[in-house]
Amino acid sequence: MRSMDCTGLPYIVEPMWLRDIKEVMEIEQVSFLSPWSARAYRHELLENDLSHYFVVRQRQVERPGPGPLTRVRRSLGVGKRLPILGYGGFWLMAGEAHISTIAVQPTWRRKGIGELLLAAMLDRAIELEAEMATLEVRASNVVAQNLYHKYGFQQAGSRRRYYRDNDEDALIMSTERLTSATFQSRFQALKRALRERLIQSLDKML
């Protein structure tokens, strides 16, 4: 089993740090009916031992022929941090990776970033020996359900009027065993296809 390798891709997935919360909140507030607070994210990062949170940033695009100063800055790792485009997290509980959130900045949607985040989280969950992945999603959130279906999540139940803000039902979605041959062959094929798609999109950015 191989982790999502971001080498050569236009985006990079990194662990979320406290300094990222301000940017995460900007996306959170335009993505959810009842956004989490910055305090909730601080709690997740500082106090919740079960949590694993990630952000996606655009990678600095390497244009040909940088001047000597640019080369020195790059070799020292000095440079502007590019903005966060999306984030996601899961809790590892009793052998299950429970995806707690995932969101992409609205103008960056439909470019494969949601998939990249989900694939990276599933990879990390597999590394941590999670047996399966699970989540709750609003019954009306067909976009997110499509993403989860694509990655092998199936509806495993529902919770009536789970969301207090509009009394909406939650669908519970789960994968099969993450190490099963069927899950793995689908997952590895999806990651290869995603990689191809993201590499092609890099050409348009150059």
Ligand X SMILES: CC(C)(COP(=O)(O)OP(=O)(O)OC[C@H]1O[C@@H](n2cnc3c(N)ncnc32)[C@H](O)[C@@H]1OP(=O)(O)O)[C@@H](O)C(=O)NCCC(=O)NCCS
201 binds ligand X (CB under 6 A): no
Enumerate residues 6+ apart whose C-beta is below 8 A from 19.
none
Exactly one of 4, 9, 16, 113 binds ligand X (CB under 6 A); which one? Answer: 113
| Contact range with ligand X by CB under 6 A, out of 11-19, 73-81, 112-120, 161-169 | 112-120
Residue 107's nearest CA partner among 46, 27, 170, 50 is: 27
Enumerate residues 6+ apart whose C-beta is below 8 A from 154.
173, 174, 175, 176
| Site residue total, ligand X (CB under 6 A) | 18
Cα distances (angstroms) measured from residue 153 to each of 14, 83, 172, 202: 24, 30, 9, 29
* β-pair partners for 96: 93, 132
Burial of 8 (0-12, 13-18, 19+ CB in 10 A): exposed
66/185 with CB nearer ligand X: 185
Binding mask 144-163 for ligand X (x = CB under 6 A): x-xx--x-------------
- Displacement of CA 129 from its chain's centroid (Å): 18
31/184 with CB nearer ligand X: 31
| Contact range with ligand X by CB under 6 A, out of 1-9, 11-19, 35-43, 140-148 | 140-148
70/202 with CB nearer ligand X: 202
Exactly one of 13, 103, 132, 178 binds ligand X (CB under 6 A); which one? Answer: 103
Residues that bind ligand X (CB under 6 A): 31, 102-104, 109-115, 137, 141, 143-144, 146-147, 150
